[in-house]
Amino acid sequence: MAIKVHGSPVSPAAKRVLLSLAEKQLDYEFVLVDLATGQQKKQPFLSLNPFGQVPGFEDGDLKLFESRAITRYIAHAYADKGTPLISEDPKKMAIIGVWMEVESQRFDAAGQKLSFEILVKPMKGLTTDDAAVEQLQGQLAAVLDVYEARLGKSKYLGGEEFSLADLHHVPIIANLMKTKVKAVFDARPAVSAWAAALLARPAWLKINAA
Amino acid sequence: MVVKVYGATYAACPQRVMACLFELGFQFDLIKIDLQSGEQKQPQNLLRQPFGQVPSIEDGDFKLFESRAIIRYYSAKSASQGGTNLLGETLEDRALVDQWMEVKVNNYNPMIYTMVLQLVVLPQQGQVGDMELVRDCKGKLEKVLDVYEERLSKSKYLGGERFTIADLTHLPNTRFLMEEGGMEDLIKRRKNLHNWWLDISSRPSWLKVMDLPK
């Protein structure tokens, strides 16, 4: 099979890639990388991602790492398949690009750390840092205030259509909804409705059913 | 139409945008936002950038924020008009450029930000920086730079054989690392990385940014 994703089903970054493949209705082979034994830090995985992180990606001879570079590639290379995830119009694409940066720089900064503190640390036998959780929740709340204003004017973050700007959020939102951080989303009606719509997308349900 | 860039000449993210506009030959006016007095958090600027930061741009009616979104937009505009191409020719070239843009954000920036906070910002506020944390960051950054060194031993620039936004995006933070950060040894000890830095930091576009009055 031409498309291969090397990763772990618990990795939000890997899920970001799987979700974009599902939205595009593309076939792929999923190659499991065992994070528990540190397989991602060893060869042969390191030749796919020298930083030793999942996911890694192959499409024929092309090898990529960094989930958001992979999703961009999928969105462009398979633009004519499945759900459009980008725009051909330069100005519309630029606006989508703005909110892709916001997700990567601001949402993920708080969201990914919250997911790690509350969900991942206990699994590793570590203690959640409650002070850090408080601080990160505050940080996330400030970001979601901006989202609330944006989503009051625009159906999706990048514009009137679903795009990578929304898709990139889904794995971390799904994680946070299993925790007390759900309250931060619920307190903001436009954000809450948007998050619910994302998690109800058939492509997301499909990759989680496997 | 001359693009308006809202920011400051000494701040990294506006520098990234200005370097790119110089590279592409798009004229701009810099409208100074007084970061020391917190002008970026004032209502006027919040309309341009809802997170209260710089830069933002206005190009006629078109407005954008986030430096990387801005440089992608202008790079796409230039390439589509047959001008300078800082993105890459093929889909695969562009994917590699995107990959190294992401590496910068996810693997390089977090260390730099922590070090800026501890070495520059906290002391400016009369607090003591956490040197243990700085040492820890430096250690992590060494490993990241080893990966860059390996990459640059196989390819002249990060995205391939041509200078692209993947290289340009590194200019402001790397300059910080080598100057205020006092860690030029991290770069100089790595032959390919050092040659790459000398190359990209001597580009006319970057020298113009460095020459802008503070």
DSSP per-residue string spanning chain A:
--EEEEE-TT-HHHHHHHHHHHHTT---EEEE--GGGTGGGSTTHHHH-TT--S-EEEETTEEEESHHHHHHHHHHHTTTSSS--S-SSHHHHHHHHHHHHHIIIIIHHHHHHHHIIIIIHHHTTPPP-HHHHHHHHHHHHHHHHHHHHHHHH-SBTTBSS--HHHHTTHHHHHHHTTSTTHHHHHTSHHHHHHHHHHHT-HHHHHHHH-
SS3 for B179? coil
Sort out which chain B residues have CB atoms less than 8 A from A149's CB and list them. Answer: 50
Instruction: Look up the pTM and report it.
Output: 0.93
Q: What is the pLDDT of residue A210?
A: 62
Nearest CA distance, A102 vs chain B (angstrom): 7
Cβ contacts of A97 on chain B, cutoff 8 Å: 66, 68-69, 72-73
- With an 8 Å Cβ cutoff, the interface of chain A facing chain B consists of 50-51, 62, 64-70, 72-73, 76-77, 90-91, 93-95, 97-98, 100-102, 104-106, 143, 146, 149-150
Q: Helix, strand or coil for residue B110?
A: helix
Alpha-carbon gap: B1 to the closest alpha carbon of chain A (Å): 16
Nearest CA distance, B50 vs chain A (angstrom): 7
ipTM, 2 dp = 0.89
Low-confidence residues of chain B, pLDDT below 50?
none
Assigned token pair, A2: 């031409």
Per-residue model confidence as pLDDT tens for chain A (210 residues): 799 999 999 999 999 999 999 999 999 999 999 998 999 999 999 999 999 999 999 999 999 999 999 999 999 999 999 999 999 999 999 999 999 999 999 999 999 999 999 999 998 899 999 999 999 999 999 999 999 999 999 999 999 999 999 999 999 999 999 999 999 999 999 999 999 999 999 999 999 986
Q: What is the DSSP letter of B25?
A: T
Contact B72 A77 (CB under 8 A): no
CB atoms B105 and A105 under 8 Å:
yes
Mutate to test the interface with B, among A98, A154, A163 (most CBs of B within 10 A): A98
